[in-house]
Structure 1
């Protein structure tokens, strides 16, 4: 009896302890329940995620004749948010129906466009016809602009693309549930066995807490409401919040929140949160397009995004992916055969360069402009749609060109620091600094910034070099020659070679070392590269070979102030009227120079570069539309005449490096070298500026023709392969410009008596040569007398103004065919001799025959093509 009473007493005491424990536990749980209910309620009254502004590209224009298919257009419409006819729900962006040879497009109420639809027909892989509503034939139709990226959330640099549960592939849902919480859709939010195991591990490891057993809802509670600190108390709070979430939302909503919140690694300087952003970052896909293997990879990364990063730890990530596939088989989500097929897939990752997919320098510039226009604290929390000028395909080409060019530049820099010792060993000397690179591409007729790369690696440096002011070097020189043509249009004669005459491409300029005086008593003593001087040269030769003293002498005749004034009108605002202005010593950014070059490429009209097209609400209502500004700066004749001379730079001057790289379309351009390396050039439909330089302003010791021109060529070769930029055309002379055929030996009009070597040159009407090359009215001295300066020509009739017996150029390359980019040649139109001297060859001071036959270099070291036989002239074909 005594023992029975004792047992009953112990049982009662135990029951009391348990009851007390439950009471205390209930009170503690109740305390935290009501405490965190208030916190959860307050948190849930606000948006769970920042509804950040979305940045969209420019709409793609479809035109008859473009190489496109119905399938590719349909895919672009899906990427733009359109739904296919027959889908369970119709997208407010619009819908479409696709057949083998046509596609019908119906924009919705939230589309960028009005709700005017179109039918695009295809034949033989090309767009054959575009028909609008009402059966009206259209010359073009714009597709829905594609989403580039969402702005990051405040200063955290977290990026996410919000998705609905219905947008998630079922394979992704099953993969996550299988590996993270296989009873997610059955339990009430907490896996008690897993929680007890986690508590035991926490106690065992004391301060080295190693949590486990968290359900998806618990992970969500932790991510939304708790700090990363690991304590038993926090586990209790986590459970409290989990029950509150489970009481408020159904399982699909909880999974949706989880899918948008979960951290999935880092890309460059941005944190990737959510499956929508991860799908774009790792696979460059919309989340709806992920296949089984890709779903398993992302689900596997949840455990440890850094340790399982597929770019850095590919084998580790694949092992984890395959484990996820096995668990999906175990849970019955997929078959064994499906798992094995997915395991056989290699990692099909998107390129790691964030610059290509999301144009981060461009987006940063857009954000800066939005802040100026809309204010710091409003626009990025309202889910605004920001429509921009960017062409995603061209942006990708720009990024690739910079990436390829970076390797070339790095090799050149390393070569500067490499020395071969006597024993044959290779050593490096000095501190190696690899320069930054920037590229800007512009539509010359609209000012639309189509592509922009602000540096070689955004993850390493977010400094946007596309808008950094740097001395422009010799890409400024065309403004000197344009100023001279301005004077000719105004009827002002220049004192050149002792003769007052209107400026023409064959006006003679003095390229001897000269001391220039300005501002009363100020002196300027410029030098040519390697102190090489050329005496009297034509203007065309001076620009093609970037001769410093010749260009400054022209600027002096025109007036330094006039040159600076023109430059400022074109957007180079720092230019001042000093001799050094002719050499580009004043600063402008690559974006500034792209805008400045529109005055040449756009018939004399300056159009300001722009990035912002429209700002709209989250539902598509227009809040602000932006229009570009423009103004006339040059007479169209001056713009064309300057362009014609810059074609010479490309075809027989230092810009010929572009031709050697395989870009053969009609183009005009200019190299530039100061402490930085530049290349500026344009076709009939595209301007591109390339800049290379060090952040600390150290001399890169690389020439524009050697370092920047190859990047320009790489980009432009890719551009002309795209349908929208393939139709490059010859530059068309305006009324008032005469293009004549000249004899290369005499610079006089070619006729049947001339040698076969001729070239075309553009003149302001009335300034072109009138004599022919048979010399009937010109210098009658023999070639021997002219070579050695013998005989008297003073009694002979004077040559027409600006014409001299010096060969100044060669015909422009023939037109490039629109689609293939191939050049058609004939016996009368051959490309120049591509033979050029290497930089490693010793540089020689110009002797008698060098001065007689032309050649030489200045600050742009890359030599031009050399003539096939000695001539007292510039190179000939």
Structure 2
């Protein structure tokens, strides 16, 4: 028997932990590896930080470019001069207006902004402009004049007669915010091409090729500066300059420079080259107008040359580009040779680039700079008027209006009337100050036709921004109230006419407290009885008081109130002689009513406001009313003309013979206040002269305030009143002794206007005039 052996399994060994094999160590990492590891981690962090910073800068840039790039100052414009057949505008006055607007006088107008003139006609090529009622296109017209003003306005293109033609308003000022930056925005499409060409040649030739930063320019500038040992050349592109101007300070540091470059890259990526150019040309710093920074080509054009950018000559456009390098260094008024040399360099670059031929270049460099008169500011300093404008804007549109960007405020100011008023004050006070250096003045001039404030002076130094006496004083107006006493009486045509006898005898009035008042005439004499017209033109006190008491003091107050007097008037007899406190503006309001055929319209200084989108802001228009019957008002105007011809204002009449003017002098007790109010066919004026401390001036209305008005008319020749009788006014004839209505051929009659409904002459007059006296016109 065979026995097989069974194989035995090897015994299982228990692993010995202590006998485990230790794995081999990895070789140590070198310093380069550690640096690389740190570097790529930091790189990721840095990249993330730059990306986040870039996103932040992108948002900052987007908010600026796609929102409101600038807070544009509110623009304040004058009235727009209206020319139409019969307009009260003379040939010299239109010439002065065109000069103020910067129009150029030539032999034959060939482009916008030019005019020619003969003794009776002016041919004008008007600029296009924005009117509150809509855009006005450029237009070429022929304006003819006659003895009354404008005779006709004819469009040159088709010989069509125009019903009305407006000149553009004068830009008076811009209300600048706290940052002190001032600018006039000009769209890229309106910027002359030579300016853009010169700008790129001088500042950034590769503007359309680079992407916001030009590395070659930076390297070239660095090499030139190192060679010179100082900074003589910059490597910044226009986009970098824009980034710095918009977002950064002028600090010189590497960090600021890097930030500028990043922003330039973002700007160039996000926006077109034309958008960047438009922003640059409206942002670039161009000079300093006292406390205001002049920014952008639009305002620079007005600042240096006094005319719109589109009307500049090629040499003037070249100067604007030249001045960018250093507006202070190239200030043309202080350094004319240096400025002209820089301008000529720009012109040479244009010639070398083929933008000019040799002949054009030679003509340009031989041209003078053609600067505006530096003694006349680019913005009008008229604080008294601006105070009224701001007050009216707040009342009609709210306090926050002027904080809005880009609004346009159209006012009623007549720049020529304002200049004449300021000159009148300055000229008059040179004489007044010899006797009393503390005298002061308040003056308001209105436009008779529009009911707007045409001029305002609140201090004997018209540009002084302080207490505004045109608005803020309250002083007794004296005899300026008398026309309203006579208007109240003449409205009662069945009782009173211009020939009605008035008692000129001593009168004593007693009030409820038992106090008496005995008014006197200026000469302290009595005539017994005088015709109403004589009492009116001679400004006699006693007949006026007798008349006022007879018709009722409350009747006079009611007339004054309807005419526009804005404050309450106490009901006592002394008001009949002007014991009523008022301001020049308040007086101008009621005399405007007298001048405007008895129609009350609240005086205003603002005609319209446009928002930043040139949409007119809605506002309620001031109400108007017929305060005084037109016929009655005609009689009052007639009396006021007699004041100037042969009454207390006769000195004024002698100064302007043959010119129909209406006026009234006023003097308060002890000659403390000198007043005058009057008008011609175009303007109404109210003037006060006195002392702030209410002291005696030794001036009457005729020697103080009327002298200022006379100087005003010397500076702004008057247009005589066109006294066309109203429908209810007839030529009347009145007995010189009794004031009764008579036939024209009666003895001792005087011809005076009268109200038709109350003029009832007697059928006969007793003994008629002999035939030979009728022929000779005797009585």
Give the conservation status (yes or no) of the 8 Å contact 2:488–2:555: no
Q: 2:175 aligns with which of 152, 166, 185?
A: 152
Note the residue ranges of structure 1 that are not aligned, 5 or more in a row: 1-18, 81-99, 418-431, 492-501, 778-826, 829-877
Q: 1:651 aligns with which of 630, 645, 650?
A: 645
Residues 491-527 of structure 1 show CA distances to partners (whole Å, capped at 9, x for unaligned) of 4xxxxxxxxxx46456345487x76543433455777
Give the conservation status (yes or no) of the 8 Å contact 2:417–2:455: yes
C-alpha distance 221-641 of structure 1, shift in aligned 2 (>3 A): same
Equivalent positions of 1:90-169 (< 5 A) are: 113=133, 122=142, 140-143=163-166, 146=169, 148=171, 151-154=174-177, 158-169=181-192
Partner residue in 1 for 2:363:
338
C-alpha distance 44-643 of structure 1, shift in aligned 2 (>3 A): same
Distance in 1, Cα, partners of 2:711 & 2:651: 11
Q: 1:481 aligns with which of 481, 485, 502?
A: 485
Equivalent positions of 1:26-425 (< 5 A) are: 36-50=57-71, 55=76, 60-64=81-85, 113=133, 122=142, 140-143=163-166, 146=169, 148=171, 151-154=174-177, 158-173=181-196, 188-189=212-213, 192=218, 216-227=238-249, 233-264=255-286, 272-295=294-317, 298-299=320-321, 314=333, 316-333=334-351, 337-343=362-368, 347-349=371-373, 352=376, 362=385, 365-377=388-400, 381=404, 383=406, 386-390=409-413, 395-416=414-435
519-528 or 250-259: bigger deviation: 519-528
Deviation at 1:415, TM superposition (A): 0.9
C-alpha distance 490-748 of structure 1, shift in aligned 2 (>3 A): closer
Give the secondary-structure state (helix, strand or coil) at the position aligned to 1:435.
Answer: strand
Equivalent positions of 1:460-859 (< 5 A) are: 460-461=464-465, 465-471=469-475, 473-474=477-478, 476-482=480-486, 485-486=489-490, 488-489=492-493, 491=495, 502=496, 504-505=498-499, 507-510=501-504, 516-523=509-516, 532-536=523-527, 538=530, 539-548=532-541, 551-572=544-565, 573-615=567-609, 623-624=617-618, 626-662=620-656, 664-674=658-668, 675-692=672-689, 702-713=699-710, 715-716=712-713, 728-732=721-725, 734-735=727-728, 738-740=731-733, 760-763=751-754
Distance in 1, Cα, partners of 2:224 & 2:517: 79
Distance in 2, Cα, partners of 1:59 & 1:149: 12
C-alpha distance 157-370 of structure 1, shift in aligned 2 (>3 A): farther
C-alpha distance 193-136 of structure 1, shift in aligned 2 (>3 A): closer
Deviation at 1:157, TM superposition (A): 6.4
Deviation at 1:48, TM superposition (A): 0.1
Distance in 2, Cα, partners of 1:566 & 1:221: 65
Deviation at 1:34, TM superposition (A): 5.5
Residues 291-342 of structure 1 show CA distances to partners (whole Å, capped at 9, x for unaligned) of 24544555566566678766xxx3x142343132232144235665234322
The root-mean-square deviation of aligned C-alpha atoms, in Å, is 5.7
CA radius of gyration, larger in: 2
C-alpha distance 119-301 of structure 1, shift in aligned 2 (>3 A): closer
Distance in 1, Cα, partners of 2:467 & 2:309: 31
Q: 2:447 aligns with which of 442, 449, 453?
A: 442
Give the conservation status (yes or no) of the 8 Å contact 2:181–2:293: yes
Give the secondary-structure state (helix, strand or coil) at the position aligned to 1:405.
Answer: helix
172-181 or 554-563: bigger deviation: 172-181
Give the conservation status (yes or no) of the 8 Å contact 1:32–1:240: no
Deviation at 1:142, TM superposition (A): 4.3
Distance in 1, Cα, partners of 2:743 & 2:560: 36
Partner residue in 2 for 1:9:
none
Distance in 2, Cα, partners of 1:676 & 1:304: 54
Distance in 2, Cα, partners of 1:184 & 1:704: 69
Give the conservation status (yes or no) of the 8 Å contact 1:355–1:399: no
Residues 145-202 of structure 1 show CA distances to partners (whole Å, capped at 9, x for unaligned) of 64636752545565432102332234544666677778767774576379869999xx
Give the secondary-structure state (helix, strand or coil) at the position aligned to 1:597.
Answer: helix
Distance in 1, Cα, partners of 2:685 & 2:647: 18
Deviation at 1:45, TM superposition (A): 3.9
Give the conservation status (yes or no) of the 8 Å contact 1:574–1:587: no
Give the secondary-structure state (helix, strand or coil) at the position aligned to 2:282.
Answer: helix
C-alpha distance 554-754 of structure 1, shift in aligned 2 (>3 A): closer
Note the residue ranges of structure 2 that are not aligned, 5 or more in a row: 1-39, 104-120, 770-775
Give the conservation status (yes or no) of the 8 Å contact 1:473–1:678: yes
187-196 or 700-709: bigger deviation: 187-196
C-alpha distance 101-585 of structure 1, shift in aligned 2 (>3 A): closer
Distance in 1, Cα, partners of 2:492 & 2:661: 24
Deviation at 1:49, TM superposition (A): 1.8
Distance in 2, Cα, partners of 1:739 & 1:774: 18
